[in-house]
Amino acid sequence: MTDDEQEIFDKLSELLQPFNEKQVELKPQTEIAVDLAIDSVSVMDFVMEVEDHFDMDIPLNVLSDTHTMKDLISVVQARKKT
C-alpha cells in the first residue's frame, strides 16, 4: 500500500471499530460485510461515518461493487480527487 492508502486504511479501520463487534482483524482484503458478519444497514451506517469524515458522498449504488477494505480505499481515493 502507498502512504496515502495506508492512511485511508487506518482511518477506515478506526471508523469501523464500533461495527466490528467480533473484533475481526482488519486487512486490505477483509470483506467488510461478510468477514465482520454485519448486516446491510450497519454497512450503510458505517459508510455514512466515512462520508462525514472525508466530507464526500459515497452513493449507495457504489456499494454494490465495494466489498473489501481495499475496494473502499479505492472509492475514497477516487472521490477525494473529484
Partner 1 sequence: MVDLLDKNKALMERMQRVAQAGSRVGPVNEKLLSPTRAMIDGRDTILAGTNNYMGVTFEASCIEAGQRALAEHGTGTTGSRIANGSYAIHEELERELAGFLGMKHCIVFSTGYQANLGMMAGLAGPKDTIFLDADSHSSIYDGCTLSGAQLVRFRHNDAADLDKRLTRMGDTGGGHLVVLEGIYSMLGDRAPLADFVEVKKKHGFQLLVDEAHSFGVLGPNGCGLADEAGLMHEADFVVGTFSKSIGAIGGFGASNHPLFETVRYSSKPYMFTASPSPASVATATAAVKLLAREPERRDRLQANSARLFHGLRGLGLELGCDEVSPVIAVKCADEPSTLVMWNELLAAGVYVNIALPPGTPGKLCLLRCSVSAAHTEAEIDRIIELFATVVAGKQLTAASAAGA
For partner 1, the binding residues (CB under 8 A) are 39-42, 44-45, 48, 55-57, 59-61
Cell numbers linked to 34: 461478510
Residue spans of beta strands (DSSP E) within 1-82: none
Integer-rounded Cα radius of gyration of the chain: 12
Q: Which is nearer to partner 1, 2 or 61 (CB)?
A: 61
Q: In the bound complex, what is the minimum distance in angstroms from residue 68's beta carbon to partner 1?
A: 18
Q: In the bound complex, what is the minimum distance in angstroms from residue 58's beta carbon to partner 1?
A: 9
Q: In the bound complex, what is the minimum distance in angstroms from residue 62's beta carbon to partner 1?
A: 9
DSSP reduced 3-state for 68: strand
Residue among 16, 56, 58, 22 at smallest CA distance from 37: 22
Q: Which is nearer to partner 1, 6 or 59 (CB)?
A: 59
